[in-house]
Structure 1
Amino acid sequence: MELSSAAIPAGSTIELAYAEPSCGGRNVSPDLRWSDAPEGAASYAVTCFDPDAPTGSGWWHWIAVDIPAAVTALDAGVQPPAREWVNDYGYSGYGGPCPPPGPAHRYVFTVHAVDVEHLPVPDDATSAACRFTLLAHAIDSASFTATFAVEG
């Protein structure tokens, strides 16, 4: 599979508009496009993760599942046709970068091809349970990484 974004090219620095409001951003979710999904992909999921967050376990910025198999792109700032889980900020949907001041953090955007149309996880499940179930049903994935920093 391949994943790309016109707004956030792989290896780029994420623009402020895509950052969390508490860091001066507008929390706009980026456009994403994917291709070359394997046969048997019944739906997709999109995640964004910061492995550099000082939590010992990173920081989840976005978990969207049950994106229909016919959808292979998301437009910037548009609510995806998906179920979205609570991110580590505590709200559902996309939460942009907002690391503590210091070195840039990496943000890993991933699309997962999933073998079921509807991920078998209850709407009130924790985001950890959703991610666990997602990985159990993922048949392929593609990622890219970009960075963001807050000067301080």
Structure 2
Amino acid sequence: MNDPFARHPETGTFTVTSSTVADGAAWAKAQYSGAFGVPGGEDVSPQLSWSGAPEGTKSYVVTVYDPDAPTQSGFWHWAVADIPADVTSLPEGAGDDTGSALPDGAYQLRNDAGQARFIGAAPPAGHGRHRYFITVHALSTDKAGVGPDATPAVLGFTIHNQTLARATIVATGEIPAA
């Protein structure tokens, strides 16, 4: 059902975990969007750790994507490019306005809210459960090949043939009808 990687070439896999959210579990309130008016939302990016990337990995990209958003293209919540190959974690909150907790050389692209930061979940009330694909992409190049003004969709297109492996956990979010 609307798997964002269904038409991508097969890649290797590795492991991503989070102390913020478990695979298949709901986001905590901090990962909802205060910017979009969700009560208790704080727009705090999740903590992520990964291991087992394939030999030849030269950098990573992290993305958070909601394919269930009521748009024709889903909704990109976060994209971080050019994470060095020796980095295997990001702390909770690394996706704030400054990105100061990101490793040297890494940068955030503008999300679908137009901000270079993590924007939390804000599914429309009563729209049902949304899935948030938190993905770490292991790349065969040390640079993703796009600048910070690129969209996450262009980033995804650019890394399509650079991706050696990907690791994904899926968080969920829902706001009941009023």
Above 0.5 in TM-score? Answer: yes
Q: Distance in 1 between matches of 2:124 and 2:44?
A: 20
Query: Deviation per CA, 1:44-63, whole angstroms, max 9, x where unpaired?
Result: 01000101101022111111
- The code of the aligned residue for 1:98 comes to A
Corresponding residue number in structure 2 for 1:12: 25
Q: Unaligned regions of 5+ residues in structure 2, if any?
A: 1-13
Q: Distance in 2 between matches of 1:105 and 1:123?
A: 27
Identity %: 41
8 Å CA contact retained: 2:58, 2:139: yes
Query: Is 2:165 aligned against 1:149?
Result: no
After superposition, where does 1:1-152 map in structure 2 within 5 Å?
A: 1-21=14-34, 22-24=37-39, 25-78=41-94, 79=99, 80-81=102-103, 82-102=106-126, 103-152=128-177
User: Once the 2 structures are TM-superposed, how far is the Cα of residue 151 of structure 1 from its aligned partner?
Assistant: 1.8
Q: Unaligned regions of 5+ residues in structure 1, if any?
A: none
8 Å CA contact retained: 2:61, 2:81: yes
User: Once the 2 structures are TM-superposed, how far is the Cα of residue 126 of structure 1 from its aligned partner?
Assistant: 3.2
User: Once the 2 structures are TM-superposed, how far is the Cα of residue 136 of structure 1 from its aligned partner?
Assistant: 2.3
- The code of the aligned residue for 1:73 comes to S
User: Once the 2 structures are TM-superposed, how far is the Cα of residue 116 of structure 1 from its aligned partner?
Assistant: 1.1
Q: How many residue pairs end up in the alignment?
A: 152
Q: Distance in 2 between matches of 1:112 and 1:121?
A: 15
Query: Deviation per CA, 1:26-78, whole angstroms, max 9, x where unpaired?
Result: 11111001000000000101000101101022111111110011110111012
Q: Distance in 2 between matches of 1:148 and 1:128?
A: 22
RMSD: 1.2
- The code of the aligned residue for 1:17 comes to A
Q: Distance in 2 between matches of 1:99 and 1:18?
A: 12
Query: Deviation per CA, 1:98-151, whole angstroms, max 9, x where unpaired?
Result: 110121111110000011111122333333222211222111001011111112
Q: The residue matched to 1:130 in structure 2 has which SS? A: helix
